[in-house]
Structure 1
Amino acid sequence: MTQDSPAGGTNGKYVGRPIARIDGPAKTSGQARFAAEYSYPDLAYAALVYSTIARGRILSMETAAAKAVDGVVAVLTHENAPPMKPAGKLSPFDVSSIAISTSVNYLATDEVHWNGQPIAVVVAETHEAAQYAASLVTATYQHWHAKVDFASEVPNAIPDKGIPFMTGKADKGDAMAALATSPFTVDLEFSTPQYNHNALEPHATTAVWDGDKLTVHEGTQSLTGVQGQLAKRFGIPKDNVRVLSPFVGGGFGGKARPWAGTLLAVLAARATGRPVRLTLTREGVYHTVGGRTASTQRVALGAGTDGQLASIVHTSVSRTGYVGGMPERITEVSHETYAAPNIYLQQSSMKLDLVSNTFMRAPGEAIGSFGLESAIDELAWDMGMDPIQLRMANEPDRGPVSGKVFAHRHLREAYAVGAERFGWDQRELRAGAMRDGRWLVGMGVATAHHTAMQLTSSVTVRLNADGTVVVRCAMQEMGMGAPTVQTQIVADELGVPLEAVRVEYGDTDLPWGAPAFGSVQTASVTAAVLAACTKLKQSVLTLARKQPASPFKGRKLPELDTRDAGLFFGTRGQSYVEILNAAGRNHVEVAYKPNMPAFLARTVRDVGWRPKAATGAQFCEVRVDADTGEVRVSRWLGVFDVGTVINARTAESQLRGGIIMGIGMALTERTLIDHRSGRIINPSLSEYHIPVHADVPHIDVQYLNKPEPNSPLGLLGLGEIGITGVPAAIANAVRHATGKRVLDLPITLDKVL
């Protein structure tokens, strides 16, 4: 339960411990280099020119003033840029297609599809010259009618069908009839705004061509996705593209795909024959990188006098762009969270003339949990029932829609532990009854939920004759500690010291690795690492058996123990160094390459498609100024069931980071769009408000540490679970403090007064 205890279900020396990040010294000393910090001879700099209309056609462009700027190398527009190939279509079986951010073929068309679409690239000898020259490029347009107002287009949304990676519609029983006859009901409409990405490192690309071979330095969450997409767009073999991304300064979904900056940096490098660096300003990120869609939700609940839910109705509307994006999986949470005999779930969407929306931490579930968990809380108020008691009365033992028995679910324990630790029994039953001077005090809870997934990865593990181990995998490190975690796992699996293991990552020349989105990377890479380590031990055992007087003759791998940098049977053993030296080998290396049909068959056999998810209980205390309506989060506790925790320190950091991001969703963040022009009017951190230190209280994070039986080492991805339930817990605490139910995010003082 505590962060100092080893992870449940493991007997190793390192797994579960709060090991410091192995790349920490490089990052804190400035030795770590990010995408915009690689220098090449004759390096040029690129800047983008953005459209100023939402929809239309470019009639003419004035570039003479930009070309006259000292140091300008080229100004590329749709009139002179070399063509790229089309993006292609989305396929769930093609990682490179998942990396499609938009269907727009930049600089190959005179059409404008959103305000901020790049319409020109200026290349110059210096960054400053490129930026200045870009500011001088102007365009005249033929204006076309544009749809940019989400709220006005909601009535025109159509039901979603066949969307990849979504559970889709559910219609179990007769939810509407059950709702109409239930003794207690709530029927609420919620809305959330558009949110934009604000990673610490803005998007940047350094692109270098050498004939038909391309090297790209890029902060990305999907090395192989970027590699495949660039190969398609520029018509070269995939093996001719090398993407390097050893460090990523935050991603949260915004770097899961290559956006305009990446493609146009590569295009500019090809057009000029020089290495090109393109770094986006914060405003440039808003213009060209998608964010989380705005949404509306209807959540209607019907319950009996005993609190048992008879009906759940959860419908939603989200948006995409006309040129790309995917609807949010908003009703995903209602597939698995509460038991009810009658459930109706439906997602709808519309298209707008805005930049394509994209993944953002816990897409769908982050905003879907706001609606569902707020409605559950309001039902508890109507019934005069404790909100935790109501949740536990409807806690399912199987998927409410699928009917499949859960492989792993310990939410009751999370709530029990959290209620005691948070002091839930001190909560006054009446709204507005708790006060501290001028502050109204409220306490709220909400359930956290994120569906667990696992993909495949390749990996090689090499054992050297000096006892060191090298692991190679093209995985991504965005600050969550990915190489540290794999170092811990390998050290335990092979019984070597932590410092003997080196993990190589962040390079497409390495074996294929799973992307770092959907909370899939750790589980996916761990499965490959465990398989490779097993193969490696078998190879070393084979060598040992061939040696005279070996203690391992006739022994099988399960009988062996790996410790003290060697193989042991009981008290008898040999170090790896002794085995390899005696065999005349300077190393043993094994590779694990997944067999996709076998992986799918094993998934079906072992899991039986049973629902698998990380869950948790979010506890929040707020203080609301009785006169001004100012809301301050004063206390937080999150108790999570995320399977085995591999690294106590990095896990706590990830969970806490998700909670902080959720506080921003609830209280400060929203993208403002001018409904006349489609322009984002707050594209900077001075106007788009994210939480600062003063907004964040001490966040107490706990986890149950119960292994998931159908995941490698029993772990569940935890990068996104922390944000889910957070806005609802805050809204529920505000309801307790003031008696007012806020249905529209963010919770600003005008909505509380």
Structure 2
Amino acid sequence: MSIVEDAKQAVKGAAQAAMQTAVQMAPDSWMPGGRPDPLIRQQHGFVGKPISRLDGAIKVRGIAPYAAEFPLDRMAYAALVFSTVAKGRIATLDTAAAEAAPGVALVMTYRNAPRMAPMPLFMTSEKACGGNDLPIMQDDRVYWNGEPVALVLAETQDEADHAASLIHVDYVAEASVTALDEAKANGTEPGQFMGQPLKYESGDADAALAAAPHRVDATYTTPRHSHNAIELHAVTVVWEGETLRVHDASQMVAHMAWSLGHVFGLDEDQVHVTSPFVGGGFGGKGLWQHQVLAAAAAKLSGRPVRLMLSREGVYRIVGGRTITEQRVAIGAQADGGFDALVHTGTVAMSHHNVLPEPFILPTRSAYASKTMKLDVEVAYLDMVANTFMRAPGEAVGTFALESAIDELAVAMDIDPIELRMRNEPEKDPTTGAPFSSREVEKAYRDGAARFGWAQRGKPGARREGEWLVGMGVATATYPYYRMPGGAARITLTRHGHATVDIAAHDMGMGTATAQTQVAADRLGLEMEQVTFRYGDSSLPGVVMAGGSQQTAAIGASVIAAHRALVGELLKLAGNDSPLAGLDADEVGGIDGGLAKLDEPTRHESYASILARAQRDTVVVEATPPMPLETMHWSMHSHGAMFCEVRVNIVTGEVRVSRFLGSFDCGRILNPKTAASQFRGGIIMGLGLALMEETQYDERNGRIMNPSLAEYHVPVHMDVPEIEVMWTDIPDPHTPMGARGVGEIGITGVGAAVANAVFNATGKRIRDLPITLDKLL
């Protein structure tokens, strides 16, 4: 078998079996409207087991095809030229040398690019996923430093890169705003997130703060961050008549198809997007200008096009996390009870996107306080559009909030965990809704015992040679989401094989594996008898891999489809079946067929049902109800993050020597893949705490460190042994009892590290990253 054929089999097999992360306390313990269903279906043993990822073998063998690895006949390779001014117009554009360079097939600029509509801006409609809403190579205007101004197609990537270097561009620069202080001086606007204002007030928090006998009031700052997925952003595109076929690295294939159709004036079904394997996303792998430019160049040249951004190119046109300035003030009584909790501040954003970093989100539900004041203001810069980045809001919001709580605990001489427990809310502090499930105290209690928290001493008290040693702790939190639109299809054959189809994604987190476990248990089949297909816009459903909600979205869809399947099978079974007279709620998938849940001897195999009905297959498709559970309950995952650091008294170097994450995320579907997700988030949190910073020149809006040589991320020497543990207590109000695990791991880490640094040195760092110059 050839590598290409082998790769196709990989896509068919692993991409089918590679996508599930649902727990399954009871396949039907969750019902529309967030009501618990008294029916608890029997388990068959796969959910909860540490099963290795089904796509692992083909990835190790190197035959899993990524977006830049689809071979097409007559393919041309693309390279981009990026602007060097923050705002202005193109004065001269000399492409003659590039056009005459060896191997060049096309040079595309605003002069010859096809007419295209702007990308539909993410969150402006159900399937919109554009990173910005600017015109793409339609005129001579420049909107940020790094915007693509020319594209070269050539026979090889080297020839394309060389020709792009020959293009000469002069600009007429216009007045731009590239410094945060200037942007704030121009005035700010209230921030909004997912259509809701980032503002909340309860009581007079300012007065309560002033009157409180104990208080802290400090400003915390965080820099820009870039995603740096190991797989570079890439796309391979080809026009087949009036159909656009796109092999992309995407977190949202259905959204991509709709949005690209809008750009090129096509119906949604004229755009076919596949993304079976994605080498990391973290929120960055949506629709940016490079996919549109590749499709435009393919249309103009009449050839398939591959465009893979360089690492620098990713920094230039793909947004990351924006800067924040946060004030946290807490007023407390002598017993530690909060009288006032203030969390306000400013973030930067471009005029052409809709994501202010929502840093107040964790504060909305984390602690009880008699009064509260939360507010995010937006200052506008001429910069690359920022976007979602792993745990948007929570990752940096918990740094400020949890650092301030540690500061208050030190000032009041109260153990930081005890102070948090004294302010545990009985219901959601801002909505008044009851919590669906909240096991924060158990996570802290179990984690403290495992980590040895009782050994923590006073700041600066523990020294080992040149190293000061300290411990810190912080709360992790991330909300439960379930986005609507996730139809799923199940095809069952008379041989007892089921195929589950849904336009969802696996970016390496083991979604397909966990979902195969869930589907196998629900259907009463072996895992080998279930194929999970995903990563293709032609499949049913509109599921985005973001917000740690994909597990719930897929689970709800599979529940709906399975209900429909059981109903159809009962009809086919007829009056001669042991199942005659039963309805769907009385029946479960057991031992390769259906059986009455409380009387399993009333059983008939799928093969028998379909044979009697003279059917080879039965196919059902269903859409779950809207996510009404979030209207009835306050739904969040939580964790307790424990960190031990060593700080060198000579150099100021910080080393994290131990880390433990103790999580409460509902039922854990697959301990092996979940642990990997928790650890991955924690490692990214260590980067946020100690080294990550997208350096931005405020004079001209240019990103100055667009490479992994200059933008530092944790490597093996930076990462200690990371221990993770969890409660594994199902949430009765979510599909399968599970809440997301993909993003919570990064939350709280920055504060846990900063608090440990303080405990080691007595020096409080409120400006990330914590670099040695801030400790010397």
Residue aligning to 2:639: 616
User: Within 5 A, what are the aligned runs for 1:1-20?
Assistant: 11-20=43-52
Letter in 1 for 2:79: A
Determine the structure 2 residue equivalent to 1:125. Answer: 155
| Secondary structure at the counterpart of residue 96 of structure 1 | coil
**Partner residue of 2:75?**
43
Tell me if 1:565 matches 2:597. no
Residue equivalent to 1:32: 64
Change (3 A) 1:607 1:294: closer
Question: In the alignment, is the contact (CA less than 8 A) between 1:261 and 1:278 conserved in 2?
Answer: yes
Question: In structure 2, do the counterparts of structure 1 residues 91 and 193 end up closer, same or farther at CA, with 3 Å as the change threshold?
Answer: closer
Could you tell me which of 225, 244, 249 is aligned with 2:279? 249
Distance across 2 between alignment mates of 1:507 and 1:243: 6
Matching of residue 446 in structure 1 with residue 471 in structure 2: no
Corresponding residue SS for 2:604? strand
The answer to whether the 8 A contact 2:104-2:160 is kept is yes
SS in 2 for 1:577: helix
- Name the stretch that deviates more: 554-563 or 740-749: 554-563
Structure 1 unaligned spans of 5+: 1-5
C-alpha offsets along residues 19-38 of structure 1, whole Å, 9 cap, x if unaligned?
Answer: 11111111111110001111
Deviates more, 1:117-126 or 1:321-330: 321-330
CA-CA distance at 1:207 after TM superposition: 0.8
Describe the SS at the equivalent of 1:590.
strand
Query: 2:699 matched to 1:667?
Result: no
SS in 2 for 1:579: helix
Q: Distance in 2 between matches of 1:485 and 1:163?
A: 30
Q: CA deviation at 1:100?
A: 1.7
Q: What's the CA shift for 1:52?
A: 1.1
Q: 2-side partners of 1:678 and 1:472: how far apart?
A: 44
Q: Given residue 509 of structure 2, which amino acid in structure 1 is its aligned partner? A: M
SS of 1:333's partner is helix
Residue in structure 2 matched with residue 414 of structure 1 by the alignment: 443
Deviations 1:343-382 (A, max 9, x none): 0111101111110000000001110110000000000000
1:62 aligns with 2:90: no
Question: How far 1:166 sits from its partner (Å)?
Answer: 4.3
Question: What is the one-letter code of the residue matched to 2:403?
Answer: S
Shift of residue 725, structure 1, vs aligned partner: 0.3
Instruction: Say yes or no: does 1:539 pair with 2:568.
Output: yes
Residues 1:174 and 2:204 aligned together: yes
Offset of 1:8 from its aligned partner?
5.3
Q: Which amino acid aligns with 1:31?
A: I
Residue equivalent to 1:501: 530
Q: Partner amino acid for 1:440? A: L
What corresponds to 1:3 in structure 2? none
Q: Deviations over 1:670-707 (max 9, x none)?
A: 01112222221110000000000110011111111111
In the other structure, the counterpart of 2:32 is none
For residue 177 of structure 1, report the CA deviation from its aligned partner: 0.5
The one-letter code matched in structure 2 to 1:261 is H
2: CA distance, partners of 1:706 / 1:650? 17
Shift of 1:581: 1.9
Q: Tell me: CA distance 1:607–1:352, structure 2 relative to 1, closer, same or farther (3 Å).
A: closer
d(CA) in 2 for partners of 1:451 and 1:560? 33
Specify the alignment match of 1:725 in structure 2. 748
CA contact (8 A) 1:442 1:733 kept: yes
Structure 2 residue aligned with 1:553: 580
What do residues 494-513 of structure 1 show as CA deviations (whole Å, max 9, x unaligned)? 11001110111111111123
Measured after TM superposition, the shift of residue 319 of structure 1 is 1.1
Match for residue 351 of structure 2? 322
Partner SS for 2:469: strand
Contact in 1 for aligned 2:471/2:645 (Cα 8 Å): yes
Q: CA 1:691–1:178 in 2, change beyond 3 Å: closer, same or farther?
A: same
Identity within the alignment, %: 47
Pairing of 1:38-437 with structure 2 (within 5 A):
38-88=70-120, 91-92=123-124, 94-97=125-128, 99-166=129-196, 168-255=198-285, 257-428=286-457, 430-437=458-465
Deviations 1:526-547 (A, max 9, x none): 1110121122122222222344
Measured against aligned partners, the alpha-carbon deviations of 1:297-355 in whole angstroms (never above 9, x if no partner) come to 00011001110010011102111113324211111111111100110111101111110
Task: Report the 3-state secondary structure (helix = DSSP H, G, I; strand = E; otherwise coil) of the residue aligned with 1:108.
Answer: coil
Q: Which amino acid aligns with 1:215?
A: R
Q: Aligned partners of 1:161 and 1:673: how far apart in 2?
A: 23
How far apart, CA to CA, are the structure 2 residues paired with 1:660 and 1:323? Answer: 31
- 8 Å CA contact retained: 1:656, 1:722: yes
Go from structure 1 to structure 2 and tell me whether the alpha carbon gap of 1:608 and 1:674 turns closer, same or farther (over 3 Å shift): closer
Q: Equivalent residue for 1:467? A: 496
Instruction: Pick one of 455, 460, 468 that aligns with 2:483.
Output: 455
Asked if 2 retains the 8 angstrom alpha-carbon contact of 1:113 and 1:322, the reply is no
2: CA distance, partners of 1:192 / 1:479: 28
In the alignment, is the contact (CA less than 8 A) between 1:8 and 1:705 conserved in 2?
A: no
- Name the amino acid aligned to 1:504: R
* Secondary structure of residue in 2 paired with 1:663: helix
> Deviation per CA, 1:128-177, whole angstroms, max 9, x where unpaired?
11111001111111111222123553444514155425452111111000
Select the residue among 683, 697, 701 that pairs with 2:724: 701
Q: Which has the higher contact order (CA 8 A, sep 6+)?
A: 2
Tell me: CA distance 1:355–1:484, structure 2 relative to 1, closer, same or farther (3 Å).
same
User: Which deviates more, 668-677 or 115-124?
Assistant: 668-677
Q: Retained in 2: the 8 A contact 1:166–1:332?
A: no
Distance 2:248 2:347 in 1: 30
Letter in 2 for 1:327: P
Q: Is the 8 A contact 2:122 2:131 kept in 1?
A: no
The one-character-per-residue Cα deviations of 1:562-591 (angstroms, maximum 9, x if unpaired) are: 322122343342221222223211111111
- Contact 2:475/2:639 (8 A) holds in 1: yes
Q: Specify the code of the residue in structure 2 equivalent to 1:454.
A: R
Question: What amino acid maps onto 1:432 in structure 2?
Answer: G
Tell me how far apart the structure 2 counterparts of residues 455 and 408 of structure 1 sit (CA, whole Å).
20
Gaps spanning 5+ residues in structure 2: where? 1-22, 27-41
Deviations 1:194-219 (CA, angstroms, capped at 9, x unpaired): 00120010100111112211000000
Q: Contact between 1:8 and 1:706, CA under 8 Å: does it hold in 2?
A: no
Contact 1:113 1:323 in 2 (8 A): no
| 1:21 correspondence with 2:53 | yes
Q: Secondary structure at the match of 2:589?
A: strand
Q: Is the 8 A contact 2:249 2:277 kept in 1?
A: yes
Which TM-score applies when normalising by structure 2?
A: 0.93
Change (3 A) 1:146 1:381: same
Secondary structure of residue in 1 paired with 2:373: strand
Q: Which amino acid aligns with 2:752?
A: A
Cα RMSD (Å): 1.5
- State the distance in 1 between where 2:121 and 2:520 align: 42
Aligned partner of residue 599 in structure 1, secondary structure: coil
1:62-101 per-residue CA deviation (whole Å, 9 max, x = no partner) reads 1011011111011111112111113345555x2332x121
> AA paired with 2:612?
A
Matched-pair contact (CA < 8 Å) for 2:191–2:356: no
Change (3 A) 1:586 1:88: closer
Count residues in correspondence.
735
8 Å contact kept, 2:570–2:580:
no
Q: What is residue 635 of structure 1 aligned with on the other side?
A: 658
Q: Return the letter of the residue paired with 1:507.
A: D
Contact kept in structure 2, 1:635 and 1:697, CA below 8 Å: yes
Distance in 2 (alpha carbons) for counterparts of 1:635 and 1:89: 42
1:523 alignment partner, one of 552, 556, 569: 552
Q: 1:14 to 1:224 in 2, by over 3 A?
A: same
Higher mean C-alpha displacement, 658-667 vs 566-575: 566-575
Q: 3-state SS of the aligned residue for 2:669? A: coil
1:616 and 1:366, CA in 2 relative to 1: closer, same or farther beyond 3 A?
Answer: same
> Which residue in the other structure is 2:16 paired with?
none
